[in-house]
């Protein structure tokens, strides 16, 4: 089982990302959960959302405290929220940022596996808005290999209708463009 | 078998209701039930089902509208949570006394105050004595299945009682997970149209549930009690029928690795699944631990429970509610009073835990089990509280 924690700000679509990923995983024949950090919706405030994905039925219904993967949707959260809290040794951090990986490592004092991509830039170009949630799904797929790129098409089409093509394009650009920075 | 689909459980609850050929829904939205209310309103608006969705001004009105529609012979659904259920309280015993088969989904949430929107069972416990059949679902699949089963049970001529299906708020309602739906044809075969024993109609005026003098009120209450107790037979029968049709089996009390276990954990609702993982981990280390899950809370299935706990030395009862100033959590209190005269019974260690959204993890279940092993007598205490 792989456990993923998403960090974003209210309104940036972290919950949509976990929905898309969970639905895509289930559609691909796996077992999955997608859920928000339970509570009221707060636009702009730091928020979290979670995924569990497994080959077997998932029984655990508590929160995720030791994730295998952490995804940071909003660049401004790096250094503001303790995004690496509980990240397993050997885990993966995937960050939306325009900054070099070395700078992220320094701010977070983080030496583990790191993937970076400027998803906001891609989202601006492809979608015309700085909302990077679907774009970041591409980076997550590349960083984790948890699903194939094509697995996301159906859930995105269902959710976004005619806008799905743009979202798929943004997602693919992030998939191709995400940079790995080997453990220091 | 249907295809597994990924969906939020709240949405799935509304989709399950849509399969049940309802006539009327009267629902007032409240967190964390809102997605059930909104999605059911969408389904009716889009013409996917031929039903009336009554947009009421409060939960007192929603349950009253349900009572009226049900008395007129309609198949009726409502859903609520927490303060909404508290506001319904005045009408709940009237619905059961009138023997109206209303089905309600309750997205369990703490009751104020202070204000808290997260999950526990403090909303359903004050409704315990209202004469409704009261059940708990453990996961999304059970929410779908039990919603459909509930209409058949409630409307059975030997039952004719309302049912509240408890669906843990957020933990279940806001979870996206894999579930499968029966087809409309399968549901139609399982759940034929309601045939009311009597129904209000302008051409044939009758009075229902109006007034009892002291010389008959006690008899009315005894009749209600008898009806509720007798409903268990039909509940089990309908669950068995479902099991044969769909391969998913439902019982008033369910067990997991409980046979021969010295220590048993008892849960209701969604925490049962997490507790089962804790049991697996403790068993790996050689502990004699098992799990007992109460699906049916009213009528309380004491015979099944006695069978499930036979031979156990310690029964750890997890209560997500407390009776302030009383004998502990409502579940443990009931079980203790039933077992009071039994010649041999387990020591009952009762934890008040998981209140107002406090997470209960696998490690918490293991910690509680370890603490319980040191108890010499029946106890109740808060778990994990900072003092």
Cross-chain residue pair A35–B276, CB shorter than 8 Å: no
Question: Are B166 and B273 members of one domain?
Answer: no
- Total domains in chain B come to 2
Q: Find chain A residues with C-beta within 8 A of B361's C-beta.
A: 62-63, 65
Same domain flag for B104 and B136? yes
Give me the mean pLDDT over the A120-148 stretch. 95
Q: What is the CATH number of the domain that holds A24?
A: 3.40.920.10
Of A19, A24, A63, nearest to B359 by CB-CB distance is A63
Q: Is the pLDDT of residue A181 over 80?
A: no
Whether B306 maps to a domain, the answer reads: yes
Among A125-134, B130-139, B180-189, the minimum mean pLDDT is found in A125-134
Mean pLDDT of B129-134: 98
Asked if B137 and B238 sit in the same domain, the reply is: yes
Give Cα B362 to chain centroid, integer Å: 23
Q: Is the CB of residue A35 less than 8 Å from the CB of residue B175? A: yes
Q: Print the domain residue range for A68.
A: 2-181
Cβ contact, residue pair B5, A26, below 8 Å: yes
> Which among A22, A26, A61 has CB closest to B274?
A61
| Mean pLDDT (chain B, rounded) | 97
Nearest residue in chain B measured CA to CA from A38: B170
- pLDDT per residue as tens digits for the range A93-120: 999 999 999 999 999 999 999 999 999 9
In this structure, are B361 and B333 located in the same domain? Answer: yes
Out of A150-164, B203-217, B278-292, B329-343, pick the least confident. Answer: A150-164
Instruction: Report chain B's terminal Cα–Cα distance, integer Å.
Output: 51
Reported confidence tier of residue B303, pLDDT bands at 50, 70, 90: very high
**Domain CATH number, residue B19:** 3.40.50.970
Range of the structural domain that residue B132 is part of: 5-246
Are residues A133 and A12 in contact, defined by beta-carbon separation less than 8 angstroms? yes
- pLDDT score for B158: 97
> Does residue B139 share a domain with residue B15?
yes
Asked if the Cβ–Cβ distance from B170 to A38 is below 8 Å, we say yes
Give the pLDDT score at A157.
87
In chain A, which residues have their Cβ closer than 8 Å to the Cβ of B7?
A: 23
Nearest to B288 by CA among B272, B265, B304: B265
Of the candidates B282, B196, B160, which has an alpha carbon nearest to the alpha carbon of residue B23? B196
Are B142 and B224 part of one and the same domain? Answer: yes
Residue B387 covered by a domain: no
- What the block records as the tokens of B190 is 């399982």
Scanning every residue of chain A, which has its alpha carbon at the shortest distance from the alpha carbon of B358? A62
Percent of chain A surpassing pLDDT 70: 98
For A32, which of B6, B273, B362 is closest by C-beta distance? B6
pLDDT at residue number A182: 66
Give domain status of residue B230, yes or no.
yes
**Contact at CB, A35 and B176, closer than 8 angstroms:** yes
Residue B7's nearest CA partner among B173, B165, B119 is B173
Domain C-terminal end among B246, B261, B291:
B246
pLDDT for B178 beyond 60: yes
Whether the CB-CB separation of B99 and B227 falls below 8 Å is answered with yes
Q: Which helix (H) or strand (E) holds B292?
A: strand B289-294
Predicted pLDDT of residue A159: 86
* Partner residue facing B171 (CB), from A32, A40, A61: A61
Altogether, the residues listed in chain A come to a count of 184
Top residue of B169, B178, B272 to mutate, by most chain A CBs within 10 Å, is B178
Give residue ranges of A with CB < 8 Å to any B CB: 18-19, 22-27, 31-36, 38-40, 58-63, 65, 155
Counting residues of chain B whose pLDDT is more than 90, the rounded percentage is: 98
pTM as predicted? 0.97
Query: Is residue B65 predicted with pLDDT exceeding 80?
Result: yes
Tell me which chain A residue has its CA closest to the CA of residue B354: A62
| Strand ordering across the sheet containing B176-179 | A179-181, A113-117, A92-96, A69-72, A2-9, A46-54, A31-36, B176-179, B5-8
- Is it the case that residue B255 has pLDDT exceeding 80? yes
Assess if residue B215 is contained within a domain. Answer: yes
pLDDT score of B1 more than 80 = no
Give me chain A's average pLDDT, please: 93
Query: Both B263 and B241 in a single domain?
Result: no
Evaluate if residue A136 carries a pLDDT over 80. yes
Nearest residue on chain B to A31, alpha-carbon basis = B178
Range B32-49 average pLDDT:
98
**What is the interface pTM, i.e. ipTM, of the complex?**
0.94
Given A26, A38, A62, which is nearest B360 (Cβ)? A62
Compute the count of residue pairs across chains A and B with CB atoms less than 8 Å apart. Answer: 73
Tell me the residues of B at the A interface, defined by beta carbons under 8 Å apart.
4-8, 31-32, 117-119, 170-171, 174-178, 270-271, 273-274, 276-277, 357, 359-362, 364
Percent of chain B, pLDDT > 70? Answer: 100
Do B46 and B169 reside in the same domain of the chain? yes
pLDDT band for position B35 (cuts 50, 70, 90): very high
Q: Where does a domain end: B246, B273, B302?
A: B246
Number of domains in chain A: 1
Cross-chain residue pair A35–B175, CB shorter than 8 Å: yes
**What's the Cα-to-Cα distance from B7 to each of A5, A33, B141, rounded to whole Å?**
19, 9, 11
- Which token pair is A24? 């895509």
What would the mean pLDDT of B22-51 be, rounded to a whole number?
98
Tell which of B246, B263, B279 closes a domain. B246
Is residue B183 in some structural domain? yes
Q: Which residues of B touch A63 (CB under 8 A)?
A: 359, 361
Q: Which residues of B67-77 are buried (b: 16+ CB within 10 A; e: fewer)?
A: bbbbbebbbbb
Testing the interface with A: which of B3, B5, B6, B291 to mutate, by most A Cβ within 10 A? B6
In chain A, which residue's Cα lies nearest the Cα of B117? A39
In the structure, what pLDDT confidence band is assigned to residue A183 with cuts at 50, 70 and 90? low
Radius of gyration of the CA atoms of chain B, in A: 21
Contact A83, A48 (CB under 8 A): no
Residue B287 lies in a domain: yes
- Return the CATH number at B262: 3.40.50.920
Q: Which residues are paired to A84 by β-bridges?
A: none
Residue A58's pLDDT band (boundaries 50, 70, 90)? very high
Query: Same domain for B351 and B324?
Result: yes
């Amino acid at each position: 089982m792989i456990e993923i924690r998403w960090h974003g700000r209210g309104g940036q679509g972290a919950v949509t990302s976990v929905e898309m990923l969970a639905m895509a995983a289930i559609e691909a024949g796996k077992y999955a959960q997608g859920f928000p950090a339970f509570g009221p919706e707060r636009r702009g405030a730091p928020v979290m959302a979670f995924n569990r994905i497994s080959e077997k039925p998932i029984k655990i219904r508590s929160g995720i405290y030791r994730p295998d993967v952490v995804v940071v949707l909003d660049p401004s959260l790096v250094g503001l929220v303790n995004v690496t809290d509980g990240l397993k040794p050997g885990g993966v951090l995937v960050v939306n940022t325009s900054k070099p990986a070395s700078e992220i490592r320094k701010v977070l004092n983080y030496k583990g596996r790191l993937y970076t991509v400027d998803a906001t830039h891609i989202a601006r170009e492809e979608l015309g808005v700085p909302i990077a949630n679907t774009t970041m799904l591409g980076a997550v797929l590349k960083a984790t290999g948890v699903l194939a790129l094509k697995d996301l098409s159906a859930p995105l089409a269902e959710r976004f209708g005619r806008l799905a093509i743009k979202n798929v394009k943004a997602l693919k650009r992030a998939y191709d463009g995400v940079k790995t920075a080997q453990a220091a | 078998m249907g295809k597994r689909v990924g969906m939020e459980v709240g949405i799935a609850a509304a989709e399950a209701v849509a399969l049940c050929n309802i006539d009327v829904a009267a629902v007032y939205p409240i967190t964390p039930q809102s997605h059930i209310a909104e999605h059911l309103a969408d389904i009716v608006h889009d013409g996917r089902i031929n039903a009336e969705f009554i947009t009421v001004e409060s939960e007192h009105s929603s349950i009253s509208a349900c009572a009226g529609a049900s008395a007129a012979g309609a198949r009726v659904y409502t859903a609520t949570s927490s303060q909404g259920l508290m506001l319904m309280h005045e009408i709940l015993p009237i619905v059961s006394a009138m023997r109206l088969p209303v089905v309600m989904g309750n997205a369990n949430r703490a009751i104020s105050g202070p204000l808290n929107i997260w999950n526990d069972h403090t909303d359903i416990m004050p409704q315990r004595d209202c004469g409704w059949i009261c059940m708990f679902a453990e996961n999304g699949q059970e929410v779908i299945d039990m919603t459909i089963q509930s209409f058949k049970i409630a409307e059975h001529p030997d039952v004719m009682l309302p049912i509240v299906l408890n669906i843990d708020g957020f933990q279940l309602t806001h979870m996206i997970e894999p579930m499968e739906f029966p087809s409309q044809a399968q549901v139609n075969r399982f759940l034929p149209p309601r045939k009311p024993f009597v129904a209000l109609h302008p051409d044939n005026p009758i009075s229902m549930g109006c007034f009892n003098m002291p010389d008959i009120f006690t008899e009315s209450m005894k009749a209600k009690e008898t009806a509720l107790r007798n409903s268990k037979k039909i509940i089990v029968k309908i669950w068995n029928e479902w099991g044969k049709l769909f391969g998913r089996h439902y019982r008033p009390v369910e067990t997991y690795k409980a046979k021969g276990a010295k220590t048993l954990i008892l849960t209701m609702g969604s925490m049962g699944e997490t507790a089962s993982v804790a049991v697996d981990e403790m068993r790996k280390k050689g502990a004699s631990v098992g799990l007992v899950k109460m699906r049916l809370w009213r009528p309380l299935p004491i015979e099944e429970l006695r069978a499930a706990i036979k031979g156990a030395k310690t029964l750890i009862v997890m209560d997500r509610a407390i009776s302030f100033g009383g004998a502990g959590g409502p579940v443990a209190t009931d079980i203790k009073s039933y077992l009071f005269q039994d010649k041999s019974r387990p020591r009952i260690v009762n934890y008040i835990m998981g209140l107002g959204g406090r997470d209960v993890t696998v490690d918490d279940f293991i910690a509680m089990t370890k603490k319980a092993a040191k108890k010499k007598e029946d106890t109740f205490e808060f778990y994990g509280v900072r003092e």
